[in-house]
Amino acid sequence: MSLFIGLLTALLVIDCLLLILLVLVQLPKKEAGAGLAFGSGAADALFGAGAGNPLTKITKFAAITFFALLIVISLLQKSAHGDKLKKFTSGVEAETKAVPTQAAPATAPAPAPAVTPAATAVTNAVTK
């Protein structure tokens, strides 16, 4: 499954590069835009004078392919990693339910009373 997702991702990157180049090569409207990046006559030199219409059709096809690939890859990723995600979220929910709310801090036990000299005198008198 991951090999198929990897191949589709590589195809998506190629489609992205093609889409970038197609947008840059298209004829600008009103003599401005990204089509001037390659010079004023780059699109005419590469594809001919009437190349605006085929370029727009190819751009539309590349854009549709781009979005279709994104949807397919996201669905495949969800199905491939959906069980892991469910296990992770259920584990987090179980941990939050198991952890009690903050309780009052436990008080330290009182230290044993120190032996006073009077008490030792009484115990010495009793033992004699």
Domain count, the chain: 1
Give the tens place of pLDDT for each residue, 8-23: 999 999 999 999 999 8
State the DSSP string of 72-109.
HHHHHHHHHHHHHHHHHHHHHHHHHHHSPPPPPPPPPP
| Domain range for 11 | 2-81
For residue 29, being part of any structural domain is answered with yes
For residue 91, being part of any structural domain is answered with no
For residue 44, being part of any structural domain is answered with yes
Contact 19, 59 (CB under 8 A): yes
For residue 11, being part of any structural domain is answered with yes
Contact 22, 62 (CB under 8 A): yes
For residue 89, being part of any structural domain is answered with no
Predicted confidence at residue 1, as pLDDT, reads 79
Residue type, 23: V
Give the tens place of pLDDT for each residue, 46-62: 656 555 678 888 999 99
For residue 100, being part of any structural domain is answered with no
